[in-house]
Amino acid sequence: MSDFGDADLVLFGRILTVDPSFPTAEAVGVRGGRIVAVGSRAETEPLVGPATRVIDVGDGCVLPGLVEAHGHPLMEALVLSDRMVDIRPVTMTDPTQILDAIRSEVARRGDDGAFLSGWDALLQNGLPDPTLDWLDSIAPATPLVVLHNSGHLAFFNSAAARSLGLDRDTPDPKGAAYGRDVDGELDGTARETGAVFPLVAGAMTAGGYPAMLAAECARLNRAGLTTCSEMAYDPKFGPLVAGFEESGALTVRLRTYEMSSPAMTASTDPGAGDDMIRHTGIKIWVDGSPWIGNIDLSFPYLDTDATRSIGVEPGSCGHANYTHEQLTEIVDAYFPRGWPIACHVMGDNGIDTILDVYDSVLRRHPRSDHRLRLEHVGAIRQDQLRRAVALGVTCSLFVDQIHYWGDVLVDGLFGPEHGSRWMPAGSAVAAGMRISLHNDPPVTPEEPLRNIAVAVTRTTPSGSVSAPEECLTVDQAIRAQTIDAAWQLFSDDVIGSIEVGKYADFVVLSADPRDVPPETIADLDVLATYLGGVQVYDGSA
């Protein structure tokens, strides 16, 4: 307890604080958006005054607001808006339905251009090969862009190329590429951010974006999320987001990681902003996505129907998009200026590369609390986890891939030796690492409760358990979705646990996740979400 003045809000019931010194409480009191008391019901009742809002959660459970440590809310706002058609595997699996959606959108949009997002040949069996000829046959005159579900690949037709001024002489962006045929002409594919993002720019208009962002905030709040990173921040979004915050409509705290640029400069200073929007770090890449065959591995992809469906050559170990020398140049441009860095890397060979780069820059520019990050790390090995811990490097794991692609990873892509140990969260925590769990939305929906369930059970779509030795406990998984995720974002001093002085960011669940069968955690209802003591989602409405 800390303060017995009247509170603005008091919650009574099961309070899971994620504070090891006081793990469970009966009440929490809030004033001015901050937590002023955590304790027993009797201790907290004196905070209740005539104007205090009092909520008894009954059989429910109050947790700290959940944290998405690796998200893309500014892009997802566009991708899931009515300007783009959602054909992700979580929405559609029937190839006929997907092709009908493409044709319908082409007919509807005409010269304005048709945009669809979510193509995934691994989970949507029977899709055609999206060649340029096929795209042009579907849309002879209408610009057509179809994003792969990974976000690392896009398909576009000739009309889209013409509308964007793309042709055989267009140079490849750094770390990205436009596919070309044997004659050097564009083949209708774009790989990686620098080539993919410009293709969807035509889908966004500044006038319509605030409504898109409001819908995105609502999606996040419905899932119990109160803080979300933006892991591919483009400074062009800055004025739009600033205006949205000034209007009072922003209901999620944002932590931005600006994309490294060819100029290797940032638009602002490290840590600029406030507790609602803070410019936290720089985002860099080593490789791409396992679902399109371009992650940097020391072992080969299998030769199966699955790998052939995504165009992987037999014996391929994938590849990196950036060399050791390029990564060193990028890291050296940002890290000495005080920037934290988060690096997308999936393959174990790529992990060796970025750990070498991190090791080198830390020797030359020591920093005691750098929180250098590795993102996704599907194929990370035990020795790499130990090395990362020794360097003070932390990982954010995309465990939800097990829920959607767990069987494909083993049977279709990598075999049991490598596919079953995908996203080894248990080993990471055992090595002494503070990790986070993430969904990388819109790749998979924002479903933090499913992350917790998957990290605890590692259950694949077929019901098998993938490497049970890599399971987390429920408490460990909750930490990875709350306080440890907040720590990775340099925000654990103000969010991530229910402690006096921190912001009153809460999620109210229908039951305590520690008291239900782990496989049912994903099915718990989000009854309410609070940001700074203000209710931003009401599950009963």
* Residue 487 in this model has a pLDDT that exceeds 70: yes
Sign of the torsion formed by the C-alpha atoms of 190, 195, 199 and 203: positive
The DSSP annotation for 229-245 comes to EEEEE-GGGHHHHHHHH
Residue 317 — φ and ψ, nearest 5°?
Answer: -105, 20
SS3 449: helix
**pLDDT, mean over the chain:** 96
- pLDDT attached to residue 2: 44
Q: Tell me if the bond preceding 442 is cis, omega within 30° of 0.
A: yes
Q: Which of 358, 494, 466 is nearest to 67 (CA)?
A: 494
Q: Which residue in this structure is represented by tokens 């909750």?
A: 478
Task: Render pLDDT for 282-300 as a digit per residue (tens, 0 to 9).
Answer: 999 999 999 999 999 999 9
Task: Render pLDDT for 197-231 as a digit per residue (tens, 0 to 9).
Answer: 999 988 887 678 999 999 999 999 999 999 999 99
Task: Render pLDDT for 319-328 as a digit per residue (tens, 0 to 9).
Answer: 999 999 999 9
Task: Render pLDDT for 5-64 as a digit per residue (tens, 0 to 9).
Answer: 799 999 999 999 999 999 999 999 999 999 999 999 999 999 999 999 999 999 999 999
- The residue type found at 348 is D
Q: Hey, what are 111's tokens?
A: 């010269």
Alpha-carbon distance of 326 to 298, in angstroms, equals 20
- In order of start, what are the domains of the chain with their CATH numbers? 1-65+496-541 (2.30.40.10), 84-203 (3.10.310.70), 210-495 (3.20.20.140)
- pLDDT attached to residue 206: 64
DSSP state of 473: P
**Residue 475 burial (C-beta neighbours within 10 Å; 0-12, 13-18, 19+):** middle
Alpha-carbon distance of 335 to 354, in angstroms, equals 13
- The residue type found at 158 is S
- pLDDT attached to residue 205: 73
Q: Which residue in this structure is represented by tokens 């005054």?
A: 49
Under 8 Å between Cβ of 506 and 64: yes
Under 8 Å between Cβ of 65 and 531: yes
Residue 236: HSE in the Cβ half-sphere, 13 Å Cα cutoff: 12
